[in-house]
Amino acid sequence: MSDCLFCRIVSREIPSDIVYEDELVIAFNDINPQAPVHMLVIPKKHIPTIADLEDADRDLFGHIHMVIKDLARQEGIDEKGYRVVVNCRESAGQSVFHVHFHLLGGRSLGWPPG
Ligand code: AMP
Ligand code: ZN
């Protein structure tokens, strides 16, 4: 998907502050952080929204959660706590249509979200 911002980050056509990478996923710092720790964990595979997941994606999404857990520990936010957010489509405010998990932490986070 050459017109997808996050695919272009995966392919290094657009620079980003990559924190983690393996064969299936990358994680990079959000360009407009909303908390002291705010990174995005994405599958390298282009999937527009979590509503587009297929059965074949089960292992990939389990893996993403393990990566998030490890990154939270690495960032030192696992003991106090953190939030994982996926915005899906228009009402949730999704702005980039390549699935991404926001990992937010390092401060108290309000609830409910806006
Ligand atoms: P969402 O609104 O859930 O689709 O989140 C998209 C996120 O991508 C926002 O938090 C943006 O700040 C972030 N973002 C947009 N462009 C970039 C970029 N080039 N590098 C890193 N993060 C980005
Ligand atoms: Zn994409």
Query: What residue segments make up the domains of the chain, in order of their start?
Result: 5-105
DSSP letter for each residue of the chain: -TT-HHHHHHTTSS---EEEE-SSEEEEE-SS-SSSEEEEEEESS----GGG--GGGHHHHHHHHHHHHHHHHHTT-TTT-EEEE---HHHHT--SSS--EEEEESS---SS--
For the structural domain made of 5-105, what CATH number should be given?
3.30.428.10
For residue 114, the model assigns a pLDDT of 84
Q: Of all protein residues, whose CA lies closest to atom 12 belonging to ligand 1?
A: 32
- Residue-by-residue pLDDT tens, the chain, 114 positions: 689 999 999 999 999 999 999 999 999 999 999 999 999 999 999 999 999 999 999 999 999 999 999 999 999 999 999 999 999 999 999 999 999 999 999 999 999 998
Among 5, 11, 32, 91, name the best residue to mutate to test ligand 1's pocket (greatest count of ligand atoms within 8 A of Cβ): 32
Pocket perturbation via mutation, ligand 1, pick of 12, 16, 19, 30 by most ligand atoms within 8 A of CB: 30
Place of tokens 């990079």: 28
Site residues for ligand 1, CB cut-off 6 Å: 5, 14, 16, 28, 30-32, 40, 87, 93-96
Give this prediction's pTM: 0.97
Per-residue pLDDT, 46: 98
